[in-house]
């Protein structure tokens, strides 16, 4: 009941004099308290965790990476005008980005003093590259499902890896304990270089435009996301690429789907993946599925004997069997693991992503060119001919699993809407 409704009821029951008294009391006593509460809430939101000093509001998730994108445009504009990297700072000021120009200048000065300058481009200051990586985490499937990111300052890192579990014993009085050790190995992550080429219209670069920063960031991150997910899911680990989940999967955890699509067979096949992880004593800290859009469409439209959707309601909330799921076209639908020659098979993954490790340099190196060529739809085109500038962003990372059986994969999946 609202205060207005309460006032009306009191007026009706007790008469206008009492109602007027209640209204005056509210204005005199309650309204100031509400205003004070609002002011204190805003204040504490700003100073929380700052030791009492007022701090600015945190960056909204949707704004992450926009400073990075603006600096890319300024750098490209500086090169376009022939004024060098330092000229980018002046261009930022001309665009009214005074605070950003000062941050960029300060970060570049520190990087140069620390010897972090790089040939063939320049190192993006860490505070800006981290924003890009955080924005990437919200869009890339493997990152979004809570694969752990490990900042690695050097090119190689070795991480203890469990290949078998430790064993616990009960013992009697005065009985020596049996030694119990896990079977361990090493997960070695060595940086692989991901090169992203993003062609930009020079019109976007020449002029200050808030919308242009969003376009630059989204184009850059989307290109990184697509190729990174492809690598982290299905790359073989050869040809200087990371080894993906498919090739980290232990042979015991590769399960072939039933060739006949039905509700019961679907439940059974999904259950087999869960069983594989449980039998390997995987802690299931961050379990999640990954599937292709075709498989998602099949599961969303699968009906039981009464004509009611089996999984649709739960999957509409982003979960399957209580676990989050990700959907990506980086899982093919034209595989032929069964060797039947039909080239119509896909895969489903179930993994504890707490076992997945992304070794990340946390650095980005960018450079720009108005004369570079790139591939568009299979054809090689010239940026100069199209009045474009090509931005090249280089990231370094690697990917692996700490537990040999932390991921299971269902192969030979022919499921598609209407196949039941």
Tell me which residue range forms the domain holding 235. 136-163+183-420
% of residues, the chain, pLDDT over 90? 44
Give dist(CA 220, CA 222) in Å, integer. 6
**What is the overall mean pLDDT for the chain?**
82
Model confidence at 128, pLDDT cuts 50, 70, 90, reads confident
56, 59, 415 from 63: Cα distances, Å: 14, 6, 38
Is 59 inside a domain boundary?
A: no
How many independent structural domains does the chain possess? 1
pLDDT: which is higher, 106 or 332:
332
Is 330 inside a domain boundary?
A: yes
Q: Indicate if the pLDDT at residue 10 is higher than 70.
A: no
Model confidence at 249, pLDDT cuts 50, 70, 90, reads very high
% of residues, the chain, pLDDT over 70? 76
Is 126 inside a domain boundary?
A: no
Task: Flag the least confident range among 2-6, 105-109, 325-329, 398-402.
Answer: 2-6
Which of 17, 129, 150 lies closest to 72, judged by CA?
A: 129
pTM of this structure = 0.77
Please calculate the CA angle 213-219-222 and round it to the nearest 5 degrees: 130
pLDDT at 7: 57
pLDDT at 305: 93
Is 379 inside a domain boundary?
A: yes
Is 386 inside a domain boundary?
A: yes
Q: pLDDT tens-digit profile of 268-302?
A: 999 999 999 999 999 999 999 999 999 999 999 99
pLDDT at 339: 93
Is 4 inside a domain boundary?
A: no
pLDDT at 82: 80
Model confidence at 266, pLDDT cuts 50, 70, 90, reads very high
**Per-residue 3-state assignment (H helix, E strand, C coil) for the chain:** CCHHHHHHHHHHHHCHHHHHHHHHHHHHHHHHHHHHHHHHHHHHHHHCCCCCCCCCCCCCHHHCCHHHHHHHHHHHHHHHHCCHHHHHHHHHHHCCCHHHHHHHHHHHHHHHHCCCCCCCCEECCHHHHHHHHHHHHHHCHHHHCCCEEEECCCCEEEEEEEEECCCCCCCCCCCCCCCCCCEEEEEEEECEEEEEEEEEEHHHHHCCCHHHHHHHHHHHHHHHHHHHHHHHHHCECCCCCCECHHHHCCHHHEEECCCCCCHHHHHHHHHHHHHHHHHCCCCCCCEEEEECHHHHHHHHHCECCCCCECCHHHHHCCEECCEEEEECCCCCCCECCCCCCCCCEEEEEEEEHHHEEEEEEEEEEEEEECCCEEEECCEEEECCCCCEEEEEEEEEEEEEECECCCEEEEEEECCCCCCC
Which of 417, 420, 413 lies closest to 272, judged by CA?
A: 413
Residues 6+ apart with CB under 8 A from 22: 6, 7, 10
Is 153 inside a domain boundary?
A: yes
pLDDT at 106: 81
pLDDT at 42: 46
Is 120 inside a domain boundary?
A: no
Q: Indicate if the pLDDT at residue 215 is higher than 80.
A: yes
Task: Flag the least confident range among 39-53, 378-392, 401-415.
Answer: 39-53
pLDDT: which is higher, 80 or 7:
80
| CATH number reported for the structural domain that contains residue 295 in this entry | 3.30.2400.10
Q: pLDDT tens-digit profile of 12-60?
A: 655 555 445 545 545 555 555 455 454 444 433 443 443 444 344 445 6
pLDDT at 47: 38
């Amino acid at each position: 009941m609202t205060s207005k409704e309460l006032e009306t009821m009191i007026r009706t029951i007790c008469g206008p004099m009492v109602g007027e008294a209640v209204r005056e009391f509210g204005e005199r006593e309650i309204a100031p308290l509400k205003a004070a509460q609002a002011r204190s809430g805003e204040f504490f939101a700003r100073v929380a965790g700052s030791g009492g000093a007022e701090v600015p509001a945190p960056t909204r998730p949707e704004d992450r990476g926009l400073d990075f994108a603006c600096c890319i445009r300024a750098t490209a504009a500086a090169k376009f005008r022939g004024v060098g990297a330092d000229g980018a700072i002046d261009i930022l000021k001309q665009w009214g980005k005074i605070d950003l120009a000062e941050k960029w200048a300060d970060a570049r000065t520190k990087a140069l003093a620390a010897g972090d300058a790089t040939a063939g481009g320049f190192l993006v200051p860490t505070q800006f590259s981290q924003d890009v990586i955080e924005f990437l985490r919200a869009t890339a499937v493997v990152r979004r499902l809570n694969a752990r990111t490990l900042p690695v300052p050097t090119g190689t890192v070795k991480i203890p890896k469990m290949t078998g579990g430790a064993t616990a014993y009960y013992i009697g009085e005065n009985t020596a304990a049996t030694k119990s050790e896990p079977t361990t190995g090493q997960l070695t992550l060595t940086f692989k270089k991901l090169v992203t080429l993003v062609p930009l219209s020079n019109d976007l670069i020449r002029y200050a435009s808030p919308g242009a920063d969003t376009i630059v960031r989204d184009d850059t991150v989307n290109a990184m996301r697509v190729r990174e997910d492809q690598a982290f899911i299905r790359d073989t680990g050869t040809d200087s690429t990371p080894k993906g989940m498919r090739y980290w999967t232990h042979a015991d955890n590769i399960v072939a789907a039933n060739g006949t699509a039905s509700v019961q067979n679907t439940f059974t096949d999904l259950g087999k993946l869960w069983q594989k992880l449980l039998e390997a004593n995987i802690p299931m800290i961050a379990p999640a599925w990954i599937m292709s859009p075709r498989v998602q469409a099949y599961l969303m439209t699968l009906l039981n004997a009464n004509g009611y959707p089996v999984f649709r309601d739960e999957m509409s909330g982003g979960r399957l069997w209580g676990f989050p799921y990700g959907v990506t076209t980086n899982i093919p639908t034209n595989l032929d693991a069964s060797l039947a020659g039909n080239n119509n098979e896909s895969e489903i993954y179930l993994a504890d992503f707490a076992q997945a490790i992304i070794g990340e340099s946390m650095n980005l190196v960018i450079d720009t060119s108005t004369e570079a060529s790139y591939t568009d739809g299979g054809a090689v085109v010239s940026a100069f001919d199209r009045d474009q500038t090509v931005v090249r962003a280089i990231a370094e990372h690697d990917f692996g699993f700490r537990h040999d059986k932390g991921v299971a994969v269902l192969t030979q999946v022919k499921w598609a809407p209407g196949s039941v």
